Copies of this chain bind each other. A is one copy, B any other.
Amino acid sequence: MTDHQSFSIQPIAHIRTDFPAKFGIPRQSMLVQSLHGKIIFEPQFRNADALRGLEDFSHLWLIWQFSQAITEEWSPTVRPPRLGGNKRMGVFATRSPFRPNSLALSVVKIENIDLHTPQGPIITVSGVDMLDNTPVFDIKPYLPHIDSIPEAAGGFALPVAEQKLEVEFSANALSTLPQDLLLPIQAILAQDPRPHYQEDENRTYGFHYNKYEIHFRVKGNKVTVVSATFMQTT
């Protein structure tokens, strides 16, 4: 698979998010608006001038790396979770992470631009769908007159009846979790992060968010956060 045409790219930044692990991450950007991330530039790209004019835009494109999905061999087909995980579609007809070159594309909303911090300029964005510390290769402004095509046909990826789950927190979970994490956790769980067609109401699922491991069960249309554990990190 080596190729004389191969081309080397390097991260210009990394994005810090509250997702230390994959499970729980929304399947696309902008689905859960309350999820924030911070774009921290690599030392050689810490230059406030490079962001001049960005304050006039509301949204950004990020080209980033599906860093947990890098494979040597490519597969022409993938099983989109939206189709229940049991139907194969062409990889170029999906946004699957398992693709040649492992490049991801997400639109996010600009929440704040801080040009001068000890780590250089930091862009805070919302609607993120990346693991913590994901490499970012490019940042481009979203140009609505070019990029927005509301009438485009969305194929099988069109939102199927976007049934959101109801989320409740046990007293135990509420006693552990900081107030400001409740809204994002609620929004993540309302999207039903379980693998499709897994409907075991006795099973306790877990995912990592911020510094917590969140444990939940799903019964019918209702998610209960049964507990949360603070994760000791080194």
Please give the residue numbers on chain A whose beta carbons come within 8 Å of chain B beta carbons, in ascending order. 1, 3, 5-12, 28-31, 42, 44-45, 47, 49-54, 56-59, 61, 63, 65, 74, 76-77, 88-95, 99-101, 103, 105, 107, 135, 137-159
Chain copies in complex: 2
Majority DSSP secondary structure for residues of A touching B: mixed
Which residue, A8, A9, A139, A156, has most C-beta atoms of chain B within 10 A?
A: A9
Question: Are B49 and A76 in contact (CB-based, < 8 A)?
Answer: yes
Do B146 and A63 touch across chains, with their CB atoms under 8 A apart?
no
Rounded to whole Å, the gap between the CB of A44 and the closest CB of chain B is 7
Residues of B within 8 A of A155 (CB): 53-54, 56-57, 141
Contact of A138 among B45, B58, B100, B144 (CB under 8 A): B100
Question: Apart from A50-B91, A52-B93, A144-B158, what 16 extra A-B contacts exist at CB < 8 Å?
Answer: A5-B11, A5-B42, A7-B11, A7-B65, A31-B146, A49-B76, A50-B77, A54-B90, A56-B154, A95-B140, A103-B137, A141-B154, A142-B149, A144-B152, A147-B147, A147-B152
